[in-house]
Amino acid sequence: MALAWRPSMGPRRPDDRRAALQATVSVTGAVLLVVLLDRTAWTAYAAFGAFAATYGRGQPPTERLRRQALGALLLVTCVTAGAAVGTLAERDWWLVLGGGVVAAIGSAVVALEEWRPPGPVFLVFGFGAVASVPQEPGSVPVALAVSAASAGFAFLVGNGATLLRRTPHRPVPLRRRLTWHPALAGLAVALAGGLSTLLGIGHPYWSMVAAVAVVVGRDRRHRWERALHRVGGTLAGLVVAAGLLVVVDDPLVAVLAVGVLQLLTELVVTRHYALALLFITPLALLMGQLAAPRPVGSLLLDRGVETVVGAVVALLVGLAGGRLLRAVAPRG
């Protein structure tokens, strides 16, 4: 099986710059506000709500509006559910179970809606990042309010002109073809998270995110390609993150770095996944440190190890699932 690392960049799309700018304004604006309010513990709530701006890329304005509205609803639901899980005494295993459910349902929605970016990565990431931090019961309505407000802000940034113009809605035809991928996604995420939890690694949701990012590949070759990109891009991104986490110690400077990294991510993510991870990795770690600071050394090690764990589990689940489905498929 020949694998394509794809050292060259994919083609630039007509709306890449617009989409990158809107996502950057949405995420940076939401994170900046919680920092100015001295509520850095809300960083994850604000950031994941604002990630609604990344949906609907390359779609006509009214279709982008619809997809971003649905994305906002799902992201807010995942953040709020994550906060609820964070209040539980035995949250580690509830995080694993909930992450598997989020991955399965999210994959089904993605398949039916033909979303870009593909896969429920943001949904699993948002749920896991919030659920992994101990929460007080009062945090649940705060998570709901902050994520909903930032999602609403992102929605207005991305669709304000469309709402003012009242552009006629022209539905985009969808194939709406649901396959076995949601079951594989849920299984891969649950197994990756469970293994990391058993091993005692500090951030099991990172392995869950890596697993869902890989297992959503179209076929075996595509999953291998995504695994190579995920692991290679993350390891390279950890080098960048190491420098930034040592140098950046002021919250406002961290927000500026988040904005730059978000912009760079959005400009390249549809063209080269590994290159995008060079920016995604320090971006995620910077936002995590804003919300709940941790020792840098163990943080970087956990991220690298859990990315490998998640990618390997996803490859094994994809391989086993493909063989099982071929074995039970009707012949003739």
- The pLDDT assigned to 220 comes to 86
Q: Considering only CA atoms, which of 113, 323, 111, 114 is closest in space to residue 220?
A: 323
> DSSP characters for 198-240?
HHT-S-HHHHHHHHHHHHTSSSHHHHHHHHHHHHHHHHHHHHH
Residue 7: inside a domain, yes or no?
Answer: no
What is the CB-side half-sphere exposure of residue 203 using CA atoms within 13 A?
Answer: 26
- The pLDDT assigned to 115 comes to 73
Q: Considering only CA atoms, which of 214, 234, 213, 210 is closest in space to residue 223?
A: 214
- The pLDDT assigned to 61 comes to 81
Residue 10: inside a domain, yes or no?
Answer: no
- The pLDDT assigned to 116 comes to 67
- The pLDDT assigned to 292 comes to 85
**What b-and-e string marks burial along 143-167, b requiring 16 or more CB atoms within 10 Å of the CB?**
bbebbbbbbbbbbebbbeebeeeee
Give the C-alpha separation, 267 to 259, whole Å. Answer: 12
Residue 310: inside a domain, yes or no?
Answer: yes
Tokens found for residue 244: 């930034």
Query: Is the CB of residue 143 less than 8 Å from the CB of residue 79?
Result: yes
Residue 8: inside a domain, yes or no?
Answer: no
Give the C-alpha separation, 213 to 227, whole Å. Answer: 8
Scanning the chain, the segments in alpha helix (DSSP H) are: 16-36, 43-50, 61-86, 91-113, 121-131, 139-165, 181-199, 204-215, 220-247, 251-268, 273-291, 296-328
Tokens found for residue 307: 């990315």
- The pLDDT assigned to 326 comes to 60
Mean pLDDT, 10 residues at a time, the chain of 332 residues: 51 75 95 96 96 86 88 97 95 96 93 76 96 94 98 89 60 58 93 95 93 89 93 97 94 95 93 93 94 91 96 94 60 44
Residue 171: inside a domain, yes or no?
Answer: no
Domain extent, residue 108, equals 16-166+176-326
Residue 5: inside a domain, yes or no?
Answer: no
Give the C-alpha separation, 264 to 284, whole Å. Answer: 13
Give the C-alpha separation, 58 to 56, whole Å. Answer: 6
- The pLDDT assigned to 323 comes to 72
Query: Is the CB of residue 264 less than 8 Å from the CB of residue 279?
Result: yes
Query: Is the CB of residue 54 less than 8 Å from the CB of residue 122?
Result: yes
Handedness of CA 206, 117, 52, 281 (dihedral sign): positive
Q: Considering only CA atoms, which of 59, 46, 49, 57 is closest in space to residue 22?
A: 57
Q: Which amino acid is at 65?
A: L
Residue 37: inside a domain, yes or no?
Answer: yes
The total number of structural domains that make up the chain:
1
Q: Considering only CA atoms, which of 287, 99, 296 is closest in space to residue 211?
A: 99
pTM for this one? 0.90
Residue 3: inside a domain, yes or no?
Answer: no
